[in-house]
Chain A
Amino acid sequence: MMLWNLIKEDRGGQILLLLLAIAIIAVPMLNALPPDHALHIPTYTVALLGKYLTLALLALSVDLVWGYLGILTLGHGAFFALGGYVMGMYLMRQIGERGVYGHPELPDFMVFLNWDSLPWYWTGLDQFWFAAILIILVPGLLAFIFGALAFRSRVSGVYLSIITQALTFALMLAFFRNEMGFGGNNGLTDFKDILGFSLQARETKVGLFVASAVALALGYLISRAVIQSRLGKVCVAVRDAESRARFLGYRVENVKLWVFTLSAMIAGVAGALYVPQVGIINPNEFSPLNSIEIVVWVAVGGRATLYGAVAGALFINYAKTWFTTELPDVWLFALGAIFVLVTLFLPKGIAGLFRRKEASV
């Protein structure tokens, strides 16, 4: 009942959760059908859908801070990538002796660079529970420190956007460095299994898909819970009139800080689910352009609706897959045109399109 309250007034959310529920049940079933069956969904497609869902979760986390807090973050890809790297490190440790050099402990790239022991920050990551904690903790901590600094000193607006961009750019350059011990440009790859299940197995892929769908649903509910709470109301107040909220006695910094940290954690989880499904994590995920792209998904889907962010992420990524297969030369033209047209004609995004109709009915 409490859950229902969260989405009672949120039609889009209801539909989204319903679709996710259907997907969680139907996709594994359809995937289990014999390959020549008309409704069979190939495992390849399942993994692809799983990837889209993790990106949707990432978009959701951005919408939480941008839509409801008014912080245009151009660095959320950093939290996503950090979560991904923690997962990647866990997966690397699972390879064990199956690496190309057969070293029992060191990942291949370390043997390759003549390291004789694991760096300290790799310890403990062979345990899933520890990795799971770090997946939330590392992005959360970074966001907390960064936010504490930035919000206390009242950095806002464009300045904040630019320093989030600087943050992810600095991290990208740092992770490119081989001395950092994260595999440099090649990143982490060639994973074998997760929790003892082979990543190549069909069941694992379906499992990861289901996990992504569940994570998205949970992320959605958590975000709704935040928005519906008193905190959420304050958030909107901060977004719309920061000074006024401050004069009314709200600790604006704290509100911003907590929501920003939560959002970073959600992004981290999204990254952690993304990595096993695509099979590689590399510093490019930190690239500032990626982070801008995420913001664009949210804008295309519709800001401050949450489900809009999800829809936007799914739409753009599907379009990317389709265009780069069918019309590679046109892809950037199409993507660019979508951005321009959406900002000009659909300021509320795809979600706004439906809402307007809703209002007119």
Chain B
Amino acid sequence: MCALGLLVLLLCAVQPAFAKSDDPVLLELQTLLISSNNQDRTKAIELLTQSQHELAFDIYGLLLEGKFFFNRTDNQLYLVDRAEAGQSALHFLDERDVVIERPRDFRRVALNNAQRTQIRRVMAQTGLTADSSKTRIKAVRQMMGDPDPEALSLIRAAYTSETNDKVRDLMAVAIAIDTLTQTDEAAQRDAIDTLAASLEPRARNALNQFVSQTENASLKELAEKGLIGIEQKIKFYKGLETVYFGLSLGSVLVLAAIGLAITFGVMGVINMAHGELIMIGAYTTFVIQQLMPNHIGLSVLVAIPAAFVVSGLVGIAIERGVIRFLYGRPLETLLATFGISLVLQQAVRTIFSPLNKTVETPSWMSGMLEFNPVFAITLNRLYIIIFCLLVFFALLMILKRTALGLQVRAVSQNRAMARAMGVRSERVDMMTFGLGSGVAGIAGVALSQITNVGPNLGQAYIIDSFMVVVFGGVGNIWGTLVAGMTLGVANKIMEPWAGAVLAKILVLVFIILFIQKKPRGLFPQRGRAAEG
């Protein structure tokens, strides 16, 4: 993250101002903040709020970021970016600059949830007049839950001058919630209408509360009708959400399986090391992030080709070293690759330790795309769905439109004939396996964004991957796409009523039964090749 740069800026900006060591507010603030008593920190925030100190907002920001440290050796307050040996610590009140020798001497001035909320509320009030409409929406949401009557009057004031429709609507809801508790019936009626049109959880809660408390029958009826309308909308969006969740789970399954669709589906190698190739891709992402710690956003993009190359090379090594001796004995490739998977797992344990590794989510991938208060989709999942489709179509193009693809299909359908036609089948095998492995590596990059990066990563996906490929029909990557998406959506539709465990069992039973019906999967391969 670029927190470092930000801090440097901030520090530079505030440093001269802080250097007023005789400011009584700041002096008291220091005493309160270095106290080990939690209550004192709450007091410090109150003090800052009441004093309306010119630096209050800078200090809030630094507090929220956890940049304040107190030095146990001299009992003074410092600003520190990272409490590591060799880093410098800046004194809060004068311009002393200390180099940290023992990081443990510097204790972070930590806030608890209540204190963070306290600060955010104060900051929200200024957010109402911010330039960005997003910040304003956030501020209104924050203040909707604020019992402080002053907050409401601030909203009322801002409402009149607000130009953005979305923000205005939200403000109207906030005002309506308050109006509902008043006694003017006409106003209440309007308020109910406003609230019934909103999907904000707080609007619904307010209506619910109103229904349970009011004695006015006609108003109650109106509110109840509004609630039913809201419930219906929520139900609809929940269904939409389930489909989205299903597609996103499906795309993870497809990504995990699609490399296998090539190595197993096209080449007939039962590649048990497939999961480990995914794992290698994920670890590549980790290493890339270590190499470029200041460009996390970029690192994931860099990791995609890197993982493709690393996993692809490992795949080629496996193919050259082991698998090429086993063509025509598909079941034995299972044993050899299972052995390889064990070796790769243990190798990762030895090199990277058995602990999970942190792979950060770049800021452009975090957050949500909000359509309305009850339906929002997570960006990281959205990117993964898009990414999955991109990878899929790229592969499809390679297989259908390139010379390599033609050769791959030729070799997989009839090796002897292909050789007779001058195809260098050995080279094609190597390239195909490398391609499948490389794609597995790419899947690892995507998975590193949603799950553990550890030695067991591969094992967690290998069985699912095989299920997807077999369900879709071996040798058909369209089948893999449809199968993955189907299983994902089916799983998610069942999950709410069956629970996560049972849903998974049902999916497996379904696959078993399906294979009875269509022994060669959704999209069976036709012709002689299928007999092999």
Q: Which chain A residues have a beta carbon within 8 Å of chain B's beta carbons?
A: 72, 146, 149-150, 152-156, 158-159, 161-163, 165-167, 169-170, 173-174, 176-177, 288-289, 292, 295-296, 299, 329, 331-333, 335-340, 342-344, 347
Contacts and interface: CB of A to CB of B under 8 A. Distances in A.
B339 A340 contact: yes
B467 interface: yes
Given A159-B470, A337-B339, A343-B326, A166 B511 contact: yes
A159 B466 CA distance: 10
B512 A169 contact: no
B355 to A, nearest CB: 15
A166 B325 contact: no
A158 B343 contact: no
A162 B464 CA distance: 10
Contacts of A156: 519
Given A335-B339, A339-B338, A344-B336, A150 B516 contact: yes
Contact of A170 (B329, B509, B517, B520): B509
A155 B504 contact: no
B511 A163 contact: yes
Interface residues of B, number: 45
B270 interface: yes
Contacts of A174: 505
Nearest to B509: A170
Given A170-B508, A173-B505, A332-B343, A296 B467 contact: no
A308 B325 CA distance: 23
A292 B338 contact: yes
Nearest to A342: B335
A155 B519 contact: yes
Of residues B270, B350, B470, which shows the largest number of chain A Cβ atoms within 10 Å of its Cβ?
B470
A342 B340 CA distance: 12
13 contacts: A146-B512, A153-B517, A154-B519, A163-B511, A166-B467, A174-B505, A176-B501, A329-B346, A335-B342, A336-B340, A336-B346, A340-B336, A342-B335
B521 A159 contact: yes
- List 4 tightest A-B contacts by C-beta distance, closest first: A339-B339, A336-B343, A336-B342, A332-B346
Nearest to A149: B516
A358 B332 CA distance: 24
A289 B459 contact: yes
A292 B463 CA distance: 12
B313 interface: no
A227 B238 CA distance: 59
A278 to B, nearest CB: 23
Contacts of B332: 299, 343, 347
B344 to A, nearest CB: 8
A295 B467 CA distance: 19
Contacts of B463: 165-166, 169, 288
A343 B335 CA distance: 7
A155 B515 contact: yes
Contact of A296 (B335, B340, B474, B515): B335
B476 interface: no
B322 interface: yes
Contacts of B505: 170, 173-174
B362 interface: no
Of residues B339, B341, B345, B463, which shows the largest number of chain A Cβ atoms within 10 Å of its Cβ?
B339
Contacts of B333: 343
A289 B460 CA distance: 11
B330 interface: yes
A166 B513 CA distance: 11
Given A165-B463, A169-B463, A289-B459, A158 B330 contact: yes
Interface string B489-532: 00000000000011011001101110111011100000000000
Contacts of A335: 339, 342
A162 B331 contact: no
Contact of A158 (B270, B338, B350): B270
Contact of B336 (A165, A292, A339): A339
Nearest to A156: B519
Contact of B345 (A163, A167, A332, A342): A332
A153 B520 CA distance: 10
B343 A337 contact: yes
B269 to A, nearest CB: 11
Contact of A333 (B343, B502, B508, B511): B343
B336 A159 contact: no
B339 A343 contact: yes
B242 to A, nearest CB: 21
B338 A169 contact: no
A299 B337 CA distance: 13
Nearest to B503: A173
Contacts of A332: 342-343, 345-346
Given A162-B470, A333-B346, A343 B515 contact: no
A162 B473 CA distance: 12
A340 B512 contact: no
Nearest to B500: A173
Contacts of A288: 463
Given A169-B508, A336-B346, A344-B322, A159 B515 contact: yes
B325 to A, nearest CB: 6
Contact of A167 (B325, B335, B350, B512): B512
A159 B511 contact: no
B410 interface: no
B423 interface: no
Nearest to A72: B331
B325 A344 contact: yes
Nearest to A296: B335
Contacts of A295: 334-335
A178 to B, nearest CB: 10
A176 B342 CA distance: 25
B466 A165 contact: yes
A333 B340 CA distance: 9
